[in-house]
Amino acid sequence: MDLTREIQTALKENRVIIGYRESIDFIKSNKPKLIIVAKNIPDDMRKEIEHNAKIFGLEVIVFEGSSKELGVICGKPFPVSTLVIKG
């Protein structure tokens, strides 16, 4: 799976939730297709996301770039530490 292509396709189809708090809320209330975190996300945020993903039986994928690089892929002028792709 090409993660960059998957993200960009989901963005075009408006199936992406961007941001830590929004992602946590979505994970708790829905079942996302993918949960993606940047490699440099703070440990406390990563643990919270992994904890919630584990509760709901979901996998967390670590993007091998920084949050700034993830922001660029998403077409945003700011860093993106976390995003979820809706199922």
Angstrom distance (rounded) from CA 51 to CA 56:
9
Q: What's residue 1's pLDDT?
A: 62
Give the count of beta carbons closer than 10 Å to the beta carbon of residue 80. Answer: 26
pLDDT tier at 87 (50, 70, 90 boundaries)?
Answer: confident
The pTM of this model reads: 0.92
Domains parsed from the chain with CATH numbers: 3-85 (3.30.1330.30)
2-53 pLDDT, tens digit per residue, is 899 999 999 999 999 999 999 999 999 988 999 999 999 999 999 999 999 9
11-21 pLDDT, tens digit per residue, is 999 999 999 99
Kind plus residue range of the DSSP H or E element containing 83: strand 82-85
